[in-house]
Amino acid sequence: MLLSLENENVPQFYKYFLENIALESVGFLNYAIPIVQVIVGISILLGLLTIPSILVCLFMHINFILSGNMNLISLVLYTSAFSLLLGRNYIYLFSLDQHLGLPQPLNDIIRRTNSQSNSG
């Protein structure tokens, strides 16, 4: 984290965040971030709570990119998570969300939008 403060590619607002928020709670973040990464990874693999898991994944990757650690792996992971959101019709095909009958938020929103535009 300290190396990110010295990196010239890191935006100024993110340096402020690192100095004033992240460094003050580094003990908590050292445990919370890996735990969240494992939980999100398992839930994406299982297809459980797919959309919230993908959004958390994208948020973590944005923070990783803002910290100046841009590399091929992070770009591939960010692109694949974003492409899962674009292919929203197919992310529920083999997921536990569909088999457990959990709501599919993106499809529900798009269905409501289409029905409102067709009726109006």
| pLDDT value at residue 28 | 94
Q: What is the mean pLDDT of each run of 10 residues along the chain (120 residues)?
A: 69 87 91 93 86 86 82 81 76 76 68 67
The total domain count for the chain is 1
What is the spatial distance between Cα 69 and Cα 40, in angstroms, rounded to a whole number? 21
What is the spatial distance between Cα 89 and Cα 4, in angstroms, rounded to a whole number? 38
| pLDDT value at residue 39 | 94
| pLDDT value at residue 3 | 62
CA-nearest of 96, 80, 11, 3 to 46 is 96
Domain coverage including residue 53: 2-119
| pLDDT value at residue 106 | 64
